[in-house]
Structure 1
Amino acid sequence: MREQELDAQGRAYATGRRKDATARVWLVPGSGKIIVNGKDQEVYFARPTLRLVIDQPFAITERQGQYDVVATVRGGGLSGQAGAVKHGISQALTKYEPALRSTVKAAGFLTRDSRVVERKKYGRAKARRSFQFSKR
């Protein structure tokens, strides 16, 4: 069994990544408040699906409303940032409660989703799409 990893303030820290986004996440016991880049999650992630993505680690471990989360996110778009925060929360949750690691790992939340946008190639309109063919 792993041991609890906390900083001097009693917080669990983890880094989450998805696409081009990187999230730094601090987890502390509380009332379930999630702050992203100094704003409430309802303000920062306006789409309900993105908030649902962020809450997945808490839902699977049945810890809704038990932890406060402070996250700073940089890079990427909103979808990638939500995935990065989810990855960070999952990592931090396992550092705070090592017993939850098997549950979170089985759900696949600890694995960094390595899918990124394919680069554009020369002689192509996009990564794979060709320019429109003109017979005449």
Structure 2
Amino acid sequence: MQATENKEKVVYWGTGRRKSAVARVRLVPGSGEIIVNKKPGNIYFNRIPDYLQAIKGPLETLGLENDYDILVNAHGGGLTGQADAVKLGVARALCELAPENRPPLKAEGYLTRDPRAKERKKYGLHKARKAPQYSKR
């Protein structure tokens, strides 16, 4: 997570993770456009508004939704995991932008990494917790 200056444009970086998804997020001054893996955000996330709302959440908390473009490189997991990973990456990049952004983002829960992940399968069971059917005789 670092800010780099490139041709008078300042770029703020943030990395987000959720389940097995990883998103490397760049915030660039712009018009509020979301680009994920070189595709527009609404196309990448299949026009599901919940995912786009989640991604814009940290920016809306600070009132910056139309001030920065979000450029994302996401891999691993599914759309839900990637959307939440992008949300965390955006929040972390906003903390890089200005340290005073941290308290409102933390209060809204945007800086907390969700630790839930798929539980491993155990031997003797069908899935992580699903046991074989019990037979009395």
**TM-score normalised according to structure 1 size:** 0.91
Could you tell me how far apart the structure 2 residues matched to 1:54 and 1:82 are?
A: 6
Q: CA RMSD in A?
A: 1.2
User: What corresponds to 2:35 in structure 1?
Assistant: 35
Q: Please list every run of at least 4 consecutive aligned residues from structure 1 whose deviation after the TM superposition is greater than 4 angstroms.
A: none
**Does the residue aligned with 1:114 lie in a helix, a strand or coil?**
coil
Name which of structure 1's ranges 71-80 and 125-134 shifts more when overlaid on structure 2: 125-134
1:104 is aligned to 2:101:
no
Matched ranges for 1:1-136 at <5 A: 5-9=2-6, 10-46=10-46, 47-135=48-136
Gaps of 5+ in 2: none
Question: How many residues in Structure 1 have an aligned counterpart in Structure 2?
Answer: 132
2:110 aligned counterpart, secondary structure = coil
SS at match of 1:83: helix
The percent identity for this pair of structures is 48
Q: How big is the shift at 1:135?
A: 4.0
Q: Match of 1:80, SS?
A: helix
SS at match of 1:70: strand
| Secondary structure, counterpart of 2:5 in structure 1 | coil
Q: Give the secondary-structure state (helix, strand or coil) at the position aligned to 2:70.
A: strand
For structure 1, which runs of at least 5 residues remain unmatched after alignment?
none
- Using the size of structure 2 for normalisation, the TM-score is 0.90
Q: How far is 1:122 from its partner?
A: 0.9
Which structure: greater strand fraction? 2
Deviations 1:12-70 (A, max 9, x none): 01111111011001101110001000000000112221111111111211211111010
Between stretches 24-33 and 106-115, larger displacement belongs to: 106-115
